[in-house]
Amino acid sequence: MRAMVLVQQKPVEENPLEPREISQPTPGPGEIRVLVRTCGVCHTDLHIVEGDLPLKRAPVVPGHQIVGVVDGTGAGVRNFHEGDRVGIPWLYSTCGECAYCLKGFENLCENARFTGYHVDGGYAETVVVSELSAYRLPDAFSDMEAAPLLCAGVVGYRALRLSNVAPGERLGMYGFGASAHVILQVARHMGCEVYVFTRAESHRELAKKLGAAWVGGAKDQAPGLLDSAIMFAPAGSLVLDALRALRKGGTVALAGIHMTPIPEIDYDTLLYHERTVRSVANSTRQDVRDFLRVAAEVPLRTEVECFRLEDANRALQAMKHSKLHAAGVLKVSA
């Protein structure tokens, strides 16, 4: 089968993903094989490809925002049948036995494995996953529209919850790509007033179109203090900008899996008065189920730019240099 394979980490401008023919996987007990229709392009893929995250295996097929149909099942599978449409996100498996799993924090599992990182992902024609880590997708979304929901949407939704923003409050968003353009709509559905801080003009226009109350740059002064903020851009220096814009008792949630160093924070002026900075790590299976339900209720509208599987390097390059309008998605099969 066709796949885009990472053998050696290097800058994405050097086209590190190689087109290859690899063997089709066989589902084991409790697993399903999925014919991949689309796969979203995520900043985490970029961090894996360029070496911001250490390789867990090589070669590896990236991709963890997978939409496809079941075309094979292993022994004992009960939840899915051939022809069912499913989505596969970042969280591939957990041990179910460590202290974090037992306390309900499976996103922090000591032995977690992730799609497109520990195991081959969706930059390929087929992928295998446990039936426990695959999800039925709302019929309201096409294959292209559904792909960004599975990481950009899910992790953004967890970040929204952990930001502690309440209905009717003022939420700031720093960076405006695939995740932010989805979560802005969820926040608006909650009745929040959303301020977007981003540098790209195309992203500013999209934020306005989706209902942002105010749009500007990270150094611009918004019309009022933020109750909460979410950091989507992987730039640590922006954390200080968010804290400057935050009211007493507010929270800044950091939604990325990787971030450049955060500069020294002046405690008295930026952190005092019970302001909180917290990271957001991965997501739980319940996060996925909850978010897909909300996505259908809103209903969310995803803005996507389509690429062929063979153009995965180009899609990652466009993401790195803020050339994507919103979410990049690979069209893998018809």
pLDDT of amino acid 322: 87
Residue 325 and residue 14: Cα distance in Å, rounded? 23
Name the nearest CA neighbour of 88 among 70, 115, 108. Answer: 115
| Cα–Cα–Cα angle for 93, 99, 100, rounded to 5 degrees | 55
pLDDT of amino acid 128: 98
Q: Are strands 214-216 and 17-21 parallel, antiparallel or unpaired?
A: unpaired
Element (H, E) at 99: helix 99-102
Per the prediction, the chain carries an average pLDDT of: 96
pLDDT of amino acid 167: 97
Q: Residue 23: phi, psi to the nearest 5?
A: -70, 145
The model carries a pTM of 0.94
Residue 183 and residue 112: Cα distance in Å, rounded? 26
Residue 220 and residue 241: Cα distance in Å, rounded? 9
Average pLDDT per block of 10 residues along the chain, 334 residues long:
97 98 97 98 96 96 98 96 98 97 97 98 98 96 97 97 98 95 97 96 94 94 96 96 98 96 97 98 96 96 96 97 91 90
User: Cβ neighbours of residue 26 under 8 Å, at least 6 residues apart?
Assistant: 33, 72, 128
Percentage of the chain modeled with pLDDT above 70: 100
Domains of the chain are: 2-148+283-331 (3.90.180.10), 154-279 (3.40.50.720)
Residue 247 and residue 261: Cα distance in Å, rounded? 24
